[in-house]
């Protein structure tokens, strides 16, 4: 609730809002936090601010069990792939198994901590929630939790937020292909750059590849080599600027090699932007027939799909029609309703 918004933070914030909307008549919610929150839940949720100086993980393991006793709470929901080992009356959301499947994406101390924590935690809690059938199969195959204790609840999309194009970002080009990719190797930015250079110049027509996320141009030059002139790295883009960035793109490209869910393709669809996504992990489960699929490990295939979509106006129109319909299947109210049913099962 206190960090810059990426996928996990968005999930926590949106689910807190939706939980109150669908469950306020049935439950009293308490939002426990180690510091003052700037987040406005826009809901009548009791806030327990602990004002602790402990680092987040220590606060979670030491102070949160104490808060559970103080508030006499019946159940703890931990929304962000972590939770206190001393609380058994707990439902925890583990978003994916990336710490096991993609260890190179994490610092050694971080991945060691989480590998131990997740296996211990899943053995203690009442129920594990995850974002997709793909993530469920991954968590089971990596022996994180048993099949009988894990449930799938898809994430949602706040379509109203992505229809707000008031705040814009100044770009040094009139037309662009957009991608969202951070320093995480899973986002596959290096292959995307190579694929972009294979797109014929006559098709680009002065168009640029714009990449949002990560740590900006410094990261690009240091890790990816010399950045071509027709590529712009924006760094982290604030939440309220994203809708206009999506909406202004000719197409959206998301060649990620591993996703537990994958917000950006649905966000692009919510802004009527045709999308190319990877044919691996959870992305086909999420995007259905509303996207063009590429092999994220094949630079030529990524390039070919970019050329195809940029060249095919009828296909773009088809995806602009299918995308918003696909997005309608993912709402936070639906997700929160499914979560409250699990609360009810575990409390009874």
pLDDT tens per residue, range 48-74: 878 788 888 899 999 999 999 999 999
- Measured distance CA(40)–CA(56) in Å, rounded: 20
**Short-list 285, 258, 288, CA closest to 275:** 288
Segment 150-176, tens digit of pLDDT: 999 999 999 988 887 777 888 888 899
Segment 308-344, tens digit of pLDDT: 999 999 999 999 999 999 999 999 999 999 999 999 9
Neighbours of 223 (CB within 10 A): 13
Fold of 161-327: Rossmann fold (3.40.50)
Give the lowest-confidence range in 103-112, 224-233, 303-312. 224-233
pLDDT of 39 above 70:
no
- Measured distance CA(30)–CA(33) in Å, rounded: 10
For residue 293, the cross-strand partners are 277
pTM of structure: 0.91
User: Same CATH topology for 7-156+331-347 and 161-327?
Assistant: yes
Q: Are strands 30-33 and 292-294 parallel, antiparallel or unpaired?
A: unpaired
**Short-list 273, 107, 307, CA closest to 178:** 273
Q: Which CATH number fits domain 7-156+331-347: 3.20.20.70, 3.20.20.300, 1.10.1060.10, 3.40.50.2000?
A: 3.40.50.2000
What is the domain partition of the chain in residue ranges?
7-156+331-347, 161-327
> CB of 177 within 8 A of CB of 168?
no
């Amino acid at each position: 609730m206190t960090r810059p918004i990426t996928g996990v933070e968005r999930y926590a914030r949106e689910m807190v809002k939706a939980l109150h909307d669908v469950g306020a008549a049935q439950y009293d919610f308490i939002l426990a936090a180690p510091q003052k929150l700037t987040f406005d839940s826009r809901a009548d949720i009791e806030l327990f601010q602990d004002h602790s100086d402990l680092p987040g993980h220590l606060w979670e393991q030491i102070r949160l069990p104490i808060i559970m006793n103080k508030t006499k709470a019946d159940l703890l929901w931990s929304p962000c792939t972590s939770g206190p080992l001393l609380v058994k009356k707990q439902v925890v959301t583990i978003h994916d198994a990336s710490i096991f499947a993609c260890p190179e994406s994490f610092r050694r101390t971080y991945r060691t901590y989480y590998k131990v924590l997740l296996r211990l935690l899943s053995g203690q809690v009442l129920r594990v929630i995850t974002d997709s059938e793909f993530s469920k199969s991954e968590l089971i195959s990596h022996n994180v939790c048993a099949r009988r204790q894990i449930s799938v609840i898809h994430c949602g999309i706040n379509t109203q937020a992505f229809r707000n194009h008031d705040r814009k970002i100044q770009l040094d080009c009139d037309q662009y292909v957009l991608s969202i990719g951070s320093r995480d190797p899973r986002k596959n930015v290096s292959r995307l750059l190579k694929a972009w250079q294979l797109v014929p110049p006559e098709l680009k027509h002065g168009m640029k590849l714009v990449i949002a996320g990560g740590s900006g141009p410094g990261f690009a030059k240091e890790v990816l080599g010399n950045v071509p002139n027709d590529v712009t790295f924006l760094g982290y883009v604030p939440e309220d600027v994203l809708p206009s960035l999506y909406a202004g793109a000719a197409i959206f490209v998301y060649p990620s090699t591993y996703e537990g869910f994958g917000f950006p393709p649905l966000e692009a669809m919510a802004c009527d932007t045709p999308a190319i996504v990877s044919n691996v992990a959870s992305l086909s489960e999420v995007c259905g027939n509303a996207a063009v699929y590429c092999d994220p490990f094949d630079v030529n295939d990524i390039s070919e799909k970019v050329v195809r979509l940029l060249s095919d106006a009828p296909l773009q129109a088809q995806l602009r029609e299918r995308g918003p319909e696909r997005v309608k299947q993912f709402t936070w109210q639906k997700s929160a309703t499914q979560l409250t049913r699990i609360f009810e099962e575990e409390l009874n």
